[in-house]
Chain A
Amino acid sequence: MLTDCKRLGLLVLLGGGVALLLWYLAPWAVPHRVFGGEGVLLNPFGHHLPQGSLPQGYRDAWLYPVFYLSLAWLALSLLLPWTKAGPRGLYWAGALGLGLFLLTYLLFQGSVAQVNAGAERPLLRRYSLGLGSYATLAYGLYLLLLARVFSPGGLALLVRRRGVVVPLFSLLLASLLGGAIVAVLKESPGEAATWREALMLKLDLITYTYQLLYSPLVSPSGFLQSLLLATPLIFTGLSVALGFRGGLFNIGAPGQLILGAIAAMLVGVYLPGPRWLVLPLALLAAALAGGLWGAIPGWLKARFGAHEVINTIMFNYIAASLFLFLISANEYKFFGQTLHLPFKYPGYEARSYEVRPEARIPHWTDLVAPGGELSFALPLALLLGVLGYFLVRRSLGHRVLAAGLLGALGYGLGGLLPGPQVAFGPDLTSVRLNGAFLLALLALLFFHLYVFRHVGGYELRALGLAPKAAEYGGVNPGRKVVWTMFLAGALAGLAATHYVLGGGIDEYRLKQSLPYSVGFDGIAVALMGQNTPLGVGLAAWLFGILLTGGLQVNLQLGISRELVAVLQALIVLFIAAGGFLPRYFTDPLRAAEVELKAEKEVKE
């Protein structure tokens, strides 16, 4: 068994080695990227220059002082663990690293600004730091992490936060493997003279892929688009998460979503009436239909013991058949007789009639700024709703009721207030984000209140953690299973409203292109979010970002968008394996042991 000091030293050595290797092999900065993804790559050991020279007027002198400073910092950090400073010294080293990264960033930005200054059209538009600089940042963060873990009680802190550590570590592993896949599947653009240059091109290709994947974070339209794609994922993620909480595995979200879509279409297209009646009814129908479709496998499990996993999968295929039956043709032959259906819109494409305007979920611009005037309705509704929840000090039901009523009041009052004029560019208004996103946020709230604040949710969790104990405690397991599957199905069914009533893709119709496989993505969202509402919301947003960025990757690099699906699958696999982390990160009993030991340490 190694002593803590030695182990720390070796871990620092390992991280430092990787950082040094990346400094040598990877580009530090990419001041210019030509079409096709090839970059002007700067590295202190020799650049890669596509046209043979640096971009006009660019000066790379800033790179060398930064490089020598980094080397000095690396040497310092490698020595620190062996001195008396120990973990505490590493805090300083880590902070120094972050400062060094900031310096690199500023100097690089300065060097680019110098070229662009004065020019009418900036010469360098597509520029970014490279993996070499990111290695500085990563090594700095790594040192901070090590410093915390090797301080008294540090490991216990990580173990206590294992709900965050395991998904994030799995994301990291999946990203590394995804990078390797990109490196294998995609030839690097540009010609290399030496093997170092070839590696530099590969590493730049991987970095560029991930920069594109996360690019929605830095553009307003990409940001909205990521929320748009996150909306159905929140619903399906919650659907799967609710099942997991109750010890059930709901792989049936795609089928439940299809049934929700059919019901929303039926009400939205064929029920006339005013908006305040039809829209809620259409939403309700979607939830109800999805819920019933989920409840059937639940009932089959409760009544006959048929495993819900295979059954929910079968119900996905059956739902897909039903869906095609309704909208792909209007005439069917049954035993020689002809059946006429009214649902398919005339034409080649399999799609329904358009949803009536009264049943449509409003576009985000109509919620935020109806008629071009910024509206106070939503902020005021939120404010009064929160006030109502926290001011009423009675049972949960009262609080939710008060919040709902005050929220509605706030919405009405806020709508009356005059607001300033705003105008959004076409890149923003063309994003089809709609009110379904707000519904998704409400669904997150519902999940939290039901699962963690309501008796029903308590029973649900008890059943999931210890079925026998829950049964002795008075839970009727059969009924609970059916009810849980109903709620899970209802959440998945609501996801369909985003597409059919909210026009989330292109039209306010039920179409054959309905992307019901987002139901499967819900599995990754639920696992990544560890079945908590906050986690599910963040995980759905993360995947929304990656899916939006995946489009860029496809456009710019010609790598299939399915790269994101592969990343999701790998994340699920790694989370299932506990991120390949030591046992105390997955086993609650061992986790408790670690924490007890840490408490003793801290007291000493």
Chain B
Amino acid sequence: MSLDAAFLTALLLSTLRQTTPLLLTALGGMFSERSGVTNIALEGILLFGALTAAVVVERLEAALGPGPHPWLPWVGVVSAMGVGGLVAFVHALVSIKYRADQIISATAINLLALGAPSLVLTYFYGNATSSKEVVNRLPLLFGLSPVVYLAFLLVPLSWWVLFKTPFGLRLRAVGEHPEAADTLGVNVYRMRYTGVVLSGVLAGLAGAYLSIGFLNQFVRGMSAGMGFIALAAMIFGNWHPAGILFSTLLFGLASALAIQLQGSEILPAVLVQAFPYVVTVLVLAGFIGRSRPPAAVGKPYEK
């Protein structure tokens, strides 16, 4: 293996592909945490999104016939975003209205995402591990899925939303000092619900990208910790869109390198797979001192 142009192109494309779900999820996590709610349920929401997209597209194909339906994958994407938002809403409801420990409530959703897909898969396909393959995957645009371009476009967009709009100001205020925001007439609860649901919608989109963009079916546990890695990237990126872009690219590169190394004889594949996780640990240990979370994150607010 030599470092020729073909290899570099493959590595670049692979990096962009690996970065996309992380970037979407990390941006989602940013909106949630900026509003003051930790959301480690994003891992589970990724899975729910992936499952929804794959099952919706496959079921519609079964009803309409396989023939090329260019609009079909987008129905899957939209329903995945809807389900993602819905699951995030459950987390929001339990942790905002019922003041649950946000990490435990999110863990419950992650546990649910380990078990529930099997029930759904058994119901539709009679096996508990994977869905039937779909024909209508997300299309490719210059070798990459449109979702990839969308994810990178979302970086400047979310920067603008967060720092240049009244909505963003309120969202940040609610996460930094909810009492002060409340005094100024901001509806703390509504802002937090919005932030959490937004994170679920983005993670649902990332999930749809995994199942009908990256692959063509849902496979059990296919998110493989991406939701958690995205959260580490968000911390590393200092809860800022530009920082998140940089850190998710780093993680994307680590995953892409791991994939490129798998066929080679440089390092054993089973060890290389652990690479992104080790990077996460190192990042959390080495750089966390520099980053500063929103002041009120993780704390339930009471009027």
Contact A325 B271 (CB under 8 A): yes
A600 CB, min distance to chain B CBs, angstroms:
27
With A321-B274, A324-B270, A325-B270: A306-B284 Cβ-Cβ less than 8 Å: yes
Task: Give the CA-CA distance A245 to B50 in the complex, in Å.
Answer: 36
Task: Verify if B232 is at the interface (C-beta below 8 Å from A).
Answer: yes
Task: Verify if A490 is at the interface (C-beta below 8 Å from B).
Answer: no
Task: Give the CA-CA distance A399 to B242 in the complex, in Å.
Answer: 61
Task: Verify if A387 is at the interface (C-beta below 8 Å from B).
Answer: no
Q: Which of B108, B128, B235 contacts A573 (CB 8 A)?
A: B108
How would residues 240 to 280 of chain B score, 1 for a CB under 8 Å from any chain A CB and 0 otherwise?
00000000000000000000000001111011011001101
Q: Which residue of A lies closest to B113 (CB)?
A: A569
Contact B111 A572 (CB under 8 A): yes
Task: Give the CA-CA distance A527 to B107 in the complex, in Å.
Answer: 12
Q: Which of A305, A329, A517, A570 contacts B114 (CB 8 A)?
A: A517
Contact A560 B108 (CB under 8 A): no
- Name the A residues within 8 Å of B232 (CB-CB): 310, 314
11 contacts between A and B (CB under 8 A): A251-B107, A309-B40, A314-B284, A324-B270, A333-B266, A333-B268, A523-B104, A523-B111, A562-B118, A573-B105, A576-B101
Q: Which residue of A lies closest to B124 (CB)?
A: A185
Contact B231 A310 (CB under 8 A): yes
Task: Give the CA-CA distance A575 to B207 in the complex, in Å.
Answer: 28
- Name the A residues within 8 Å of B286 (CB-CB): 304
- Name the A residues within 8 Å of B135 (CB-CB): none
Q: Which of B268-298 contact A (CB under 8 A)?
A: 268, 270-271, 273-274, 277-278, 280-281, 284-286, 288-289
Task: Verify if A577 is at the interface (C-beta below 8 Å from B).
Answer: yes
Task: Verify if B12 is at the interface (C-beta below 8 Å from A).
Answer: no
- Name the A residues within 8 Å of B108 (CB-CB): 569-570, 572-573, 576
Q: Which of A543-576 contact B (CB under 8 A)?
A: 558-560, 562-566, 568-570, 572-573, 575-576
- Name the A residues within 8 Å of B146 (CB-CB): none
Contact A577 B105 (CB under 8 A): yes
Q: Which residue of A lies closest to B90 (CB)?
A: A573
How would residues 99 to 111 of chain B score, 1 for a CB under 8 Å from any chain A CB and 0 otherwise?
1110111011101
- Name the B residues within 8 Å of A570 (CB-CB): 108, 112
A369 CB, min distance to chain B CBs, angstroms:
38
- Name the A residues within 8 Å of B118 (CB-CB): 560, 562, 565
Contact A524 B111 (CB under 8 A): yes
Q: Which residue of B lies closest to A322 (CB)?
A: B274
* 20 other A-B residue contacts (CB within 8 Å) besides A311-B285, A335-B265: A185-B123, A304-B289, A306-B284, A310-B232, A310-B280, A324-B270, A329-B268, A332-B268, A333-B266, A334-B268, A559-B122, A564-B115, A566-B116, A566-B119, A568-B115, A572-B111, A576-B98, A576-B105, A576-B108, A577-B94
Q: Which of A146-189 contact B (CB under 8 A)?
A: 181, 185
Q: Which of B109-153 contact A (CB under 8 A)?
A: 109, 111-112, 114-116, 118-123, 128
**What bracket does the count of chain B residues touching chain A fall in?**
35 or more
B18 CB, min distance to chain A CBs, angstroms:
16
- Name the B residues within 8 Å of A524 (CB-CB): 111
Task: Verify if A578 is at the interface (C-beta below 8 Å from B).
Answer: yes
Contact A562 B128 (CB under 8 A): yes
Task: Give the CA-CA distance A558 to B123 in the complex, in Å.
Answer: 9
Q: Which of A306, A318, A324, A563 has the most CB of B within 10 A?
A: A306
Q: Which residues of B contact A (CB under 8 A)?
A: 40, 90, 94-95, 98-101, 103-105, 107-109, 111-112, 114-116, 118-123, 128, 224-225, 228, 231-232, 235, 265-268, 270-271, 273-274, 277-278, 280-281, 284-286, 288-289
Contact A568 B288 (CB under 8 A): no
Q: Which of B95, B123, B285 has the most CB of A within 10 A?
A: B285
Q: Which of A326-356 contact B (CB under 8 A)?
A: 328-329, 332-336
Q: Which of B108, B225, B270, B280 has the most CB of A within 10 A?
A: B108
A176 CB, min distance to chain B CBs, angstroms:
16
- Name the A residues within 8 Å of B120 (CB-CB): 185
A526 CB, min distance to chain B CBs, angstroms:
10
A157 CB, min distance to chain B CBs, angstroms:
23
Task: Give the CA-CA distance A576 to B40 in the complex, in Å.
Answer: 15
With A520-B114, A569-B112: A578-B270 Cβ-Cβ less than 8 Å: no
Contact B40 A321 (CB under 8 A): no
A344 CB, min distance to chain B CBs, angstroms:
12
Contact A333 B40 (CB under 8 A): no
Q: How many A-B residue pairs have CB under 8 A?
A: 156
Task: Give the CA-CA distance A575 to B107 in the complex, in Å.
Answer: 12
Contact A523 B277 (CB under 8 A): no
Contact A576 B281 (CB under 8 A): no
With A321-B274, A560-B128: A568-B111 Cβ-Cβ less than 8 Å: yes
Q: Which of B103, B104, B105, B284 contacts A311 (CB 8 A)?
A: B284
Task: Give the CA-CA distance A564 to B267 in the complex, in Å.
Answer: 39
Contact A310 B98 (CB under 8 A): no
Contact B122 A560 (CB under 8 A): yes
Contact B103 A249 (CB under 8 A): yes
Q: Which of A322, A335, A527, A566 contacts B104 (CB 8 A)?
A: A527
Contact A306 B116 (CB under 8 A): no
Q: Which of A197-215 contact B (CB under 8 A)?
A: none
A173 CB, min distance to chain B CBs, angstroms:
12
Task: Give the CA-CA distance A303 to B284 in the complex, in Å.
Answer: 12
Q: Which of B225, B280, B289 contacts A305 (CB 8 A)?
A: B289
How would residues 560 to 603 of chain A score, 1 for a CB under 8 Å from any chain B CB and 0 otherwise?
10111110111011011110100000100000000000000000
Contact B273 A578 (CB under 8 A): no
Task: Give the CA-CA distance A329 to B121 in the complex, in Å.
Answer: 32
Q: Which of B107, B278, B280, B289 contacts A572 (CB 8 A)?
A: B107
Task: Verify if A300 is at the interface (C-beta below 8 Å from B).
Answer: yes
- Name the A residues within 8 Å of B277 (CB-CB): 314-315, 317-318, 321
B12 CB, min distance to chain A CBs, angstroms:
24
- Name the B residues within 8 Å of A568 (CB-CB): 111, 115
B302 CB, min distance to chain A CBs, angstroms:
10
- Name the B residues within 8 Å of A313 (CB-CB): 225, 228
Contact B105 A569 (CB under 8 A): no
Contact B98 A578 (CB under 8 A): yes
Q: Which residue of A lies closest to B104 (CB)?
A: A576
Task: Give the CA-CA distance A335 to B268 in the complex, in Å.
Answer: 9
Task: Verify if A126 is at the interface (C-beta below 8 Å from B).
Answer: no
Contact A305 B288 (CB under 8 A): yes
A571 CB, min distance to chain B CBs, angstroms:
8
